């Protein structure tokens, strides 16, 4: 009797595993196909209340509120890299070492392991997977984020991120953020304003409300100052990463 029960238990869980694996594979393949269909288009995102789940549409031409990377101050995207993804120009879509360290830290704290999300993964999540449960979505993000990195130039990925990121309630894209918080175009942002915007990204609705009300907590202020101090070193690091990346490609030719 016990052997029979164990066999049934193994069979049930085995079938469930196969179904989950099939779903995971099929939805990942769908996302890869969808990425291929849309990689040359311009995404337009909104995060409607009350659940703020991303809703995406695609346009062939550049939207009116789209800001080119070349039209932004260098500090705008340097600050985002310094605050969100310091090895952006070096990794291939996924930050393995830092993710493993974060997972170990989460497990030690008895928290759900999340890992580190690169800019690629954040784009993939919002454009192709939305609000799916993180356990399965993270695996899918890795596959599509790596594929994205092999298909698009880094500057294109960075420009997409800056134009679809949420910077506050109903504030999507760095152009809208510059107007909403500082009443000026992106091109006129100061280094401090760029660093402040970059540090809204982890929690834009909460931190954005602080900035809009003029009450910036000391903790956020320290983060902004740290990002400001890192701008020059991030710039040097990016140049080194780009050089190493070009040398790696030459050696492979």
Domain residue limits, the chain: 2-48+67-88+95-252
If we measure between CA atoms, which residue out of 88, 79, 94 comes closest to residue 242?
Answer: 88
Per-residue pLDDT tens digits for 163-174:
999 999 889 999
3-state SS assignment for residue 66: coil
- Say if residue 113's pLDDT is above 60: no
| Residue 134 in tokens | 């993180």
Q: How far apart are CA 151 and CA 36, in angstroms?
A: 9
Q: How large is the average pLDDT for residues 2-26?
A: 61
Q: How large is the average pLDDT for residues 170-198?
A: 96
- 32 vs 198, residue with greater confidence: 198
Element counts in the chain: helices (H) and strands (E):
10, 4
Long-range contacts, 123-126 (Cβ 8 Å, 24+): 123/148, 123/157, 123/160, 123/161, 123/164, 124/31, 124/35, 124/148, 126/45, 126/54, 126/56, 126/164
Lowest average pLDDT, out of 89-103, 114-128, 136-150, 215-229, goes to 89-103
Lowest average pLDDT, out of 78-82, 113-117, 216-220, 225-229, goes to 113-117
What is the homologous superfamily of the domain 2-48+67-88+95-252 according to CATH? Answer: Biosynthetic peptidoglycan transglycosylase-like (1.10.3810.10)
Which pLDDT band, with edges at 50, 70 and 90, does 253 fall under?
low
- Say if residue 236's pLDDT is above 70: yes
Torsion of Cα atoms, 172 then 203 then 48 then 141, to 10°: 80
């Amino acid at each position: 009797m016990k052997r029979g029960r164990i066999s049934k238990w193994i069979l049930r869980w085995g079938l469930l595993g196969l179904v989950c694996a099939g779903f995971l594979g099929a939805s990942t393949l769908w996302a890869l196909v969808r990425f291929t269909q849309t990689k040359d288009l311009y995404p337009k995102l909104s995060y409607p209340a009350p659940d703020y789940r991303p809703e995406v549409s695609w346009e062939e031409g550049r939207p009116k509120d789209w800001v080119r990377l070349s039209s932004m101050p260098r500090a705008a995207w340097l600050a985002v890299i310094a605050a969100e993804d310091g090895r952006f120009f070096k990794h291939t879509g996924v930050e393995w070492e830092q993710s493993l360290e974060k997972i170990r830290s989460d497990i030690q704290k008895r928290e759900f392991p999340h890992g580190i999300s690169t800019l690629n993964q954040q784009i993939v999540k919002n454009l192709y997977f939305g609000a799916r449960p993180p356990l399965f979505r993270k695996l899918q993000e890795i596959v599509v984020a790596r594929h994205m990195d092999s298909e698009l130039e880094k500057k294109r990925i960075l420009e997409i991120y800056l134009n679809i990121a949420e910077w506050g309630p109903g504030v999507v894209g760095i152009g809208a953020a510059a107007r909403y918080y500082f009443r000026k175009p992106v091109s006129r942002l100061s280094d401090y304003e760029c660093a402040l915007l970059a540090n809204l990204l982890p929690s834009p609705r909460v931190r954005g409300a602080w900035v809009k009300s003029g009450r910036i907590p000391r903790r956020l202020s320290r983060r902004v100052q740290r990002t400001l101090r890192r701008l020059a070193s991030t710039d040097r690091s990016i140049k080194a990463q780009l050089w190493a990346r070009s040398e790696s490609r030459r050696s492979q030719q």
